[in-house]
Each structure stands twice: as structure tokens, then as C-alpha cells.
Amino acid sequence: MNAVNLSMTVVLAVLYSVGFYLLLQRSLMRVLLGIVVLGHGTNLLLQLIGSPPGRVPILGIALPSEFTDPLPQALALTAIVITFALTTYLLALGYRSWVLVGHDEVQDDLEDRRIAQRERPEASMGEETTGEDDAEDDPGSAAASGDPVDPADVGGER
């Protein structure tokens, strides 16, 4: 039985709140900072859920029974590195956005907004029934299932 202690709970709550809040902003830079903060929060969460503070998991320094759980540490170590990779990439993306359009703000997707303004679907499954019937041959007729008619033959009769 172990538990996150109360002070760490507060730290977690603040980190996640700030991370989410920044994520909801429009500036790409703030969004990026939000992701970094969320990454920190998650790494801390992994450690705290894993086990209460214990001895360093290195053989020869402590007994295995006194170890903190090494598995969350390994997971968090991977997570730290990947967060770093993501950060640099987003940073480059924000930079590129700034160079191209003069700011680094996330724009609204105009295509999506156009869909949102639409009142009725562009193409409808039921719409065809109200449209004018085109002068096609009856598809259920025997003629439609017969041999395809050579257009050259028909031409003479018309």
C-alpha cells in the first residue's frame, strides 16, 4: 500500500491545469510550452504512482527489497527523451510558421468553418427522390438485362 502524498498531489494538479490551459491557447509557442509542462507532469505522475521514495535501484548500494520501482523510471526516461524530440520539432514548426505568415498563431480551419455554416448536406441520400427523373431506360426491364445495344444500330432508327 502506498499513496501519493498531499503536497505532491497539489503539484500535479497545478502542473496539469497549467499545461491544459496553455494547450488551449492560440499561440503556437504557448501550446508548445503547455506540452512541455504536461510532459513534466506526466513523468512526475509515473514516479509518484510507481512507488513511494525508496533507495536507488542500483545493486550493491541497496538491497532489492528497498528499491524504488525501476520500471516507471525506465518508462519516464523514455518519455523525457521523446518529449524533447517533440519539443524541438514543434519549435521548428512554430518558427517556420512565423517566417511564412508573420505570426505563430494557430489559425481556424476555414474549410471546417464553412461546413459549420452549412444548413443542409451538399449531397443527400434522399435528395435524389425529389429531383426530376431523368429519361433513362427502365433498369428493371428485360431490355436492360439483354445484350448491350450497339449505338450504331439505334442511330438508324432514330
Interface of this chain with other proteins, residues 59 to 78, rule: CB under 8 A: 59-60, 64, 67-71, 73-74, 76-78
Please report, as a single letter, which amino acid is at residue 119: E
Least Å distance, CB 157 to other proteins, is 13
Least Å distance, CB 139 to other proteins, is 4
Question: Do 52 and 43 contact (CB within 8 A), yes or no?
Answer: no
23-62: which residues touch other proteins (CB under 8 A)? 23-27, 29-30, 33, 36-37, 40-41, 43-45, 47-49, 51-60
Question: Do 8 and 44 contact (CB within 8 A), yes or no?
Answer: yes
Task: Kindly tell me which residue out of 107, 155, 157, 158 binds other proteins, with binding defined by CB under 8 A.
Answer: 107
> What is the rounded CA–CA span in Å between residue 14 and residue 125?
50
Residue 61 corresponds to which cell in the numbers above?
A: 548500494
Is 148 a binding residue for other proteins by CB under 8 A? The answer is: yes
112-141: which residues touch other proteins (CB under 8 A)? 112-121, 124-130, 133-134, 136-141
Is 152 a binding residue for other proteins by CB under 8 A? The answer is: no
Is 146 a binding residue for other proteins by CB under 8 A? The answer is: yes
Nearest to 33 by CA among 8, 9, 15: 15
> What is the rounded CA–CA span in Å between residue 135 and residue 156?
20
Coil/strand/helix, residue 25: coil
Least Å distance, CB 94 to other proteins, is 7
Residue with cell 503547455: 34
